[in-house]
Chain A
Amino acid sequence: MEQSTTPTRELADRFARTVAADERIEPRDWMPDGYRATLLRQIAQHAHSEIIGMQPEANWITRAPSLRRKAILIAKVQDEAGHGLYLYSAAETLGASRDELLDGLHSGRHKYSSIFNYPTLTWADVSAIGWLVDGAAITNQVPLCRCSYGPYARAMTRICKEESFHQRQGYESLHVLAHGTPAQREMAQDAVDRWWWPSLMMFGPPDDESPRTAQSMAWRIKRHTNDELRQRFVDICVPQAEALGLTLPDPELRWNDERGHYDFGPIDWAEFRAVLRGDGPCNEQRIGQRRAAHAEGAWVREAAAAYAGKHGLAA
Chain B
Amino acid sequence: MTPPTATLALADDALILSHRLAEWAGHAPVLEEEVALANLALDLLGQARTLLSLLGDEDELAYRREERAFTNTQLVEQPNGDFAHTIARQLYYATFQQLLFGRLAVLDSELTPLAVKAGPETAYHRDHAVTWTLRLGDGTAESHARMQRAVDALWRYTGELFHPLPGLPELDHRALEADWLARVSEVLTTATLAVPGTPRGGTGRRGLHSESFGRLLAEMQHLHRSHPGATW
Contacts and interface: CB of A to CB of B under 8 A. Distances in A.
Interface in B190-232: 219-220, 222-224, 227, 229-232
Nearest to A292: B27
Contacts of A71: 42, 45-46, 49
A82 B26 contact: no
Interface residues of A, number: 51
Contact of B34 (A81, A184, A304): A81
Contact of A181 (B140, B219, B224, B229): B229
Contacts of A304: 30, 135, 139
30 contacts: A54-B34, A58-B26, A62-B22, A65-B230, A65-B232, A67-B45, A67-B48, A67-B58, A69-B232, A70-B45, A74-B25, A75-B38, A78-B42, A81-B31, A81-B38, A84-B31, A85-B35, A123-B232, A289-B26, A296-B29, A297-B28, A297-B83, A299-B142, A301-B30, A304-B135, A306-B139, A306-B140, A307-B135, A307-B138, A310-B138
Interface string A38-59: 0000000000000100110010
A63 B32 CA distance: 24
A177 B42 CA distance: 24
Interface of A: 51, 54-55, 58, 61-71, 74-75, 77-78, 81-82, 84-85, 88, 123, 173, 176-177, 180-181, 183-184, 289, 292-294, 296-308, 310-311
Contacts of B23: 61-62
A303 B140 CA distance: 5
Given A51-B31, A62-B19, A302 B143 contact: yes
Given A63-B220, A302-B143, A306-B140, A184 B28 contact: no
A132 B82 CA distance: 36
Closest CB pairs A-B (n = 10): A297-B29, A303-B139, A303-B143, A78-B38, A81-B34, A58-B25, A300-B29, A307-B135, A66-B232, A58-B26
